Chains A and B, each alone.
Chain A
Amino acid sequence: MNIKSFILKNKRLAIGGSITAIMVILAVTGLFFTPYDPNAMDISAKLSGISPRHIMGCDNFGRDIFSRVLAGLSTTMVVAVGTVFIGIVFGTLIGAFTGYYGGYLDEIMMRFNDAVLAFPSLLLALVFISVMGSGKLNVTIALGILFIPSYARIMRGEFLKCRNLDYVMSARLMGASDMRIMFVHILPNTVRVMLSTIAIGFNNAVLAEAGMSYLGIGVQPPDASLGRMLSEAQSYLFVRPGYAVCTGMAIVLLILGFSMLSEGLEKNA
């Protein structure tokens, strides 16, 4: 199957992939270069509309919205990737041990898991932030910890399913250690599930970061983040609707692209 027919066959993958690629490129650009300093204020440009100098206009402090969207995009993406990374690493570890060994360990860990899942995640995040203080790193850690239980549950299911399959049995008969069976034999077979969980988790992380920054407990001003910008844009919804639209579109595209990409991948895996 050549690439052309593959893409034609799987439009979702193609569209999602290209949107995601563009967003990632923009985010990476935002890390190193923006047309203006995203935090530089300019009275004369206060709430100015779209112009050749400012292609998305300026916000209430006269800051270039396009520069801020780029910077916000990279902030949001870094937080989301970090969150998913923490969640998947610890979630897989917990899921592997509880699913593979079962017994009391499984029972205790999973009930603890249920307890954490029973709380609204935003409330838990708030508790974390008020204990550890706000800031980019703390938001990532707080969200990452919150993501662990759901990942652990999914991965546990996979390990539970695989532990009595034939290939695991034969590996055991050959005298492979538990560690080797878990991480060399079973883990590669969970990749498909892991990928789709990562995709969903990534989207949730983007939204969670946006939500927390919107509430003022996430990324601290004047640093840009998509959620923080959306919350500021709210006050100018009637005066400068473009502010909220540009910021909101960035979030929408980011999530849309990634969702389509993951759905496409799942179909083809």
Chain B
Amino acid sequence: MKKRLLTILSVLLTLTIALGGCSGRKAGDSSRITVGIPQDLEDSLDPHKAAAAGTREVLFNVFEGLLKPDVNGDLIPAVAKEYTVSEDGLTYSFILREGVKFHDGSPVTAEDVKYSIEKSAGMTGEESLIAAFSNISRVDKVSDTQVDIVLKENDVDFPAYLASVNAAVIPAANAAPDVTPIGTGPYKYVSRSPQENIIMQRFDDYWGEKAYIKDVEFKVEAGDAMIMDLKGGSIDMCARVSVTQVKQLGDEFDMYEGSMNLVQALYLNNAVKPFDDLKVRQAMCYATDTQEILDLAFDGYGAPIGSSVFPAFGKYFIPELADKYPRDIAKAKELLKEAGYPNGFDMTITVPSNYIPHVDTAQVLVQQLKEVGINATIDQVEWNTWLSDVYAGRKYESTVIGVDASSMTAEALLGRFYSKADNNFTNYSNPEYDKLYEESKVTLDDSKRTELFKAMETLLAEDAANVYIQDMAEFVPMNKKYEGYVFYPLYVQDIARIKLK
């Protein structure tokens, strides 16, 4: 009797599990996708407080600013239909698009826009995440459909900052934007379980092209567990997978290949000996072989670069600079001799230990530099130590790292080499460069500015400010059920473009 009961129970239990699995599977097959993300959204769901790039890339689906970036990184109107700039360049007038609704159904009004920009700029007492917004003098509601933003000083890059998630338009009536985030994006926020997931649903009243997939779950999963989940089928896609992990996945997935949009280089502290000598820096450039680094540490993937601009900045990128210093051991040795180091020298490469690609790159560099007599040793440090000692403290000789652009402005990449810049962690200093930079700040004509930026980019290469290596390749494995993943030149995951095959 007891045994029979047990049998019935176990059959029932099996059925429950099996059928439960069935129903879940069915809904999954219709229109839902699970996206793996490497970190939880711990900072805030309030777009104006989302400091981490990993948070912003998820919130990008929920929020929009007056403008937003398209897949090329160009600015397209979003909540605003169009905008005009006054002749003195100080007043930006935005005409609001009609029929834009928040996720709670209420229409976007000029008050909401004024409130959002003021909140984002820190004018309501909160800290602003966009430094350039301190330049805003006031925000005026001109009419029900027009909002004017008045600047204190000229800033040609100002519209680019408005496209950031940190400048999103949110309803003024929402008392708790970090608990119940409401935006105007193609997806609306449903729920979040800390350390587990964040769930979104398609917003059917979206003003633009609506999303294809109805339910989206962003699942928090770390490291190699992500690969296991992909293989097991509980995650459908995830971004920024390394070459090694791609190998583990095999061809069960559609693999989208893009680039990380950063400048990976052996950054040299231009203020310490011997790197204050141009000849030494050039010798190091001649001593290294980018293609060999790519072949050895990255399976041949990655785009070689020769200055502090990566290819996604099509307008400013000069591809020829990558070939400026081909590998030439004899020349490198000669330059070292001229600089007074006929027998080479000892140096340290500081690398954050959590970024394996950078550690691998450093290992190849050590071997390549050895051939010209430079004896490099690697010092692995923790990420926080790297940030405080190398980046903020500038107490280092050289480091391998990737530097990205916080916004789609040339300023974001080239501004850090201005000798007085706060984030000039390489201590690069060249009066000629400073002159070009200062000129670019006050030039309004776009083609003239582009010329200036290109001149700065070339100067960095000629000065061999750093040993530039590559823009690293990234891979997005996606379940073969889906298609349509698009890469942005910014840190963004656009789920709205993904659809079922």
Contact = CB atoms under 8 A, between A and B. Distances in A.
Chains A and B bind each other: yes
B380 A61 contact: no
Nearest to B300: A43
A43 B296 contact: yes
A134 B379 contact: yes
A221 B359 CA distance: 8
A213 to B, nearest CB: 10
A239 B354 CA distance: 22
A40 interface: yes
B378 A222 contact: yes
A61 B244 contact: no
Interface string A210-242: 000001110011100000000000011111000
A221 B378 contact: yes
A41 interface: yes
A60 B360 CA distance: 10
Interface on chain B toward A: helix, strand, loop, or mixed SS?
helix
Contacts of B356: 235
A5 interface: no
Contacts of B297: 60-61
A46 B363 contact: no
A133 B380 CA distance: 9
A216 B364 contact: no
B362 interface: yes
Interface residues of B, number: 24
Interface in B326-383: 353-354, 356, 359-360, 362-364, 366-367, 377-380, 382
Contacts of A236: 244, 247
B74 interface: no
A133 B247 CA distance: 34
A216 B247 contact: no
B292 interface: yes
Contacts of A220: 377-380
B382 A130 contact: yes
B385 interface: yes
B439 interface: no
A244 to B, nearest CB: 13
A39 interface: yes
A216 B378 CA distance: 11
Contacts of A62: 296
A266 B189 CA distance: 67
Contacts of B379: 133-134, 220
B382 A221 contact: no
Nearest to A238: B248
Contacts of A130: 382, 385
Contact of A46 (B296, B353, B380): B296
Interface string B278-293: 0000000000000010
B367 A43 contact: no
Contacts of B296: 41, 43, 46, 60-62
Interface residues of A, number: 22
Contact of B364 (A41, A134, A237, A238): A41
Contacts of A235: 244-245, 356
Interface string A193-224: 00000000000000000000001110011100
B98 interface: no
Contacts of B363: 61, 221-222
B288 to A, nearest CB: 13
Contacts of A43: 292, 295-296
A221 B367 contact: no
Contacts of A134: 379-380
B24 to A, nearest CB: 29
Among A40, A222, A236, A237, residue most surrounded by chain B Cβ atoms (within 10 Å): A222
B364 A61 contact: yes
A239 B382 contact: no
Interface string A15-41: 000000000000000000000000111
Given A46-B296, A61-B297, A239-B247, A222 B385 contact: no
Nearest to A126: B382
Nearest to B353: A216
Contacts of A60: 244, 296-297, 360
Contacts of A40: 367
A235 B295 CA distance: 17
Interface string A38-74: 0111010010000000000000111000000000000
Interface string B288-323: 000010011100000000000000000000000000
A242 to B, nearest CB: 15
Nearest to A220: B378
B207 to A, nearest CB: 45
Contacts of B353: 215-217
5 contacts: A41-B367, A43-B292, A61-B364, A236-B244, A239-B248
Interface of B: 244-245, 247-248, 292, 295-297, 353-354, 356, 359-360, 362-364, 366-367, 377-380, 382, 385
Interface of A: 39-41, 43, 46, 60-62, 130, 133-134, 215-217, 220-222, 235-239
Given A41-B367, A221-B363, 18 more contacts: A39-B366, A40-B367, A43-B292, A43-B295, A60-B244, A60-B297, A60-B360, A61-B364, A133-B379, A134-B379, A220-B380, A221-B359, A221-B362, A235-B245, A235-B356, A236-B244, A237-B248, A238-B248
Shortest beta-carbon contacts, A-B, top 8: A216-B353, A222-B363, A235-B244, A216-B380, A238-B248, A220-B378, A43-B295, A221-B363
